Structure 1
Amino acid sequence: RGPLSPKLTTVSKPIGCWSCFKPSNAPLCSAHGGICSVTSIFCPLEAKALPDLVRLLSGELYETAIEAIQTLSTLVVKASPQRGASVLHEADAIKPMLEILSWGTDSLQEDALSLLEKEMVDVYGSAARLSLAGLTRTNIHEDGRHCHSLNVIRNHQLLLLRD
């Protein structure tokens, strides 16, 4: 995996009850729910980098796609995954992530699946998690390739996206 900035994985602090006493003109991040910045806490939305990151996923270059996936993963946080999932949907990031399953290396495919799982579970519930987790553990060939399993996953996810 490529080197990541420690700030890349830092999530902005959500605005809480005490913020009502401090007026703030800063807009809330639609992914993180707090006030993000480019300098103190790197946020791809605040940096207006989301369209470029999505384009990098389509370039079929491992080095750039892995960094893009890792950066996009910072948008789907445990505290409020629905926000990041919504941002990824609005940015049309799902289709390029699904396409990675047909051309990416095993590690890139795993990273894409991990992000898709987070995103799909939020949108489609625990049924998506069970289906994706079960599919990723089956049909692994001796040489480590996931060809059949990934095709099944891609078809399953496309069906979920249609609903």
Structure 2
Amino acid sequence: MPVLRSPRLGADIRADHPAYDLIELLFFAYRDFVSDPDRILDEYGFGRAHHRVLHFVDRQPGLTIAELLDILRITKQSLNRVLKELIEKRFIESRMGTSDRRQRLLHVTPQGHDLALKLAKLQTKRIARALSDLEPDAKELVTRYLVRLIDPDDREHVERLVFGKQEV
């Protein structure tokens, strides 16, 4: 296995030569990262879209449909299908807004929270295993790397969602 060290991170990556090794490692890492939840979701007749909706509604109680669409960047039609199933199977509930009664606020049910937590714990176990043999600052380095993979104009928004950072 090649040693993954470089005097300056990214120094050996050239824009005119595809980084096939990293591209393929990201594909394989994502495949395995979602495989554990996929098996459980399949028992409920759910897929990855259901997982993403459940995850973000669990993490952001009271999320509006517009906010969820912005996070997931999917069509309203796609979201409606997935959301309808999650509501019908009582994993998510849609509540009327307090200030605007036309607004629908999304919340997980206890059953939805339990499933979201079960899936997050599976993925956390995989992440912990991957970080366990690395240097103590590996999580910080991986976090910085993942944030920098996000489009620059969306980073601040994502950091607020993930880390709870406030706009300045």
TM-score grouping bracket, smaller chain normalisation: under 0.3
Q: Which has the larger radius of gyration?
A: 2
TM-score, structure 2 as length reference:
0.23
Q: Which has the higher strand share?
A: 2
